[in-house]
Amino acid sequence: MGFWKRLIAFLIDVFILVVVTVPLLLAIYGRSYLKLAHEGGGIAGVWDFLIQYVLPTIAVIVFWRYRGATPGKMAISARIVDAKTGRTPSTGKLVVRYFAYLVSMLPLFIGFIWIGIDRRKQGFHDKIAGTLVIYDND
């Protein structure tokens, strides 16, 4: 069940990011930004990079650090803990976990699919960072 719950949490988080970032990008770049994005034109400028990459990275790591979860994980009553101690992971572990998402994506998102197979429901990013997702209502 962990895989499907976490997929729902991910979709909630993506929805929130889109609701926040798209209006900001449209306010800065105007409607031409939609055309650029539709054509796969890359990064439109420094604000595009900051809003699409830097802001989400910081937001996710801050949520993990101070709330133990992103809004999506909070919605499913899940939180991230240190796999060995069960306590709040260090900021360093959380940064590693975030960037280890890249490993989980390649190839073909197998590191995320692994959540459905693994006994502890750890994705590759969890294994690399030494974290575990637990559910408060289980």
Nearest to 120 by CA among 80, 76, 66: 80
Q: What is the pTM of this model?
A: 0.88
Per the listing, tokens 């960072």 go with: 129
77 phi-psi bin (left φ>0, alpha ψ -120 to 50, beta other): left
Q: Say if residue 110's pLDDT is above 60.
A: yes
State how far the Cα of 110 lies from the Cα of 107, in Å rounded to an integer: 6
Confidence tier at 90 by pLDDT (50, 70, 90): very high
Which has the minimum average pLDDT: 10-14, 21-25, 42-46, 61-65? 42-46
Q: What is the largest CA-CA distance in the chain?
A: 50
Number of domains in the chain: 1
Residues of the chain with pLDDT > 70, as a percent, come to 95
Confidence tier at 1 by pLDDT (50, 70, 90): low
Structural domain including 17 reads 2-135
**What pairing do the DSSP bridges indicate for beta strands 78-82 and 131-135?**
antiparallel
The tens digit of pLDDT for each residue in 8-20 reads 999 999 999 999 9
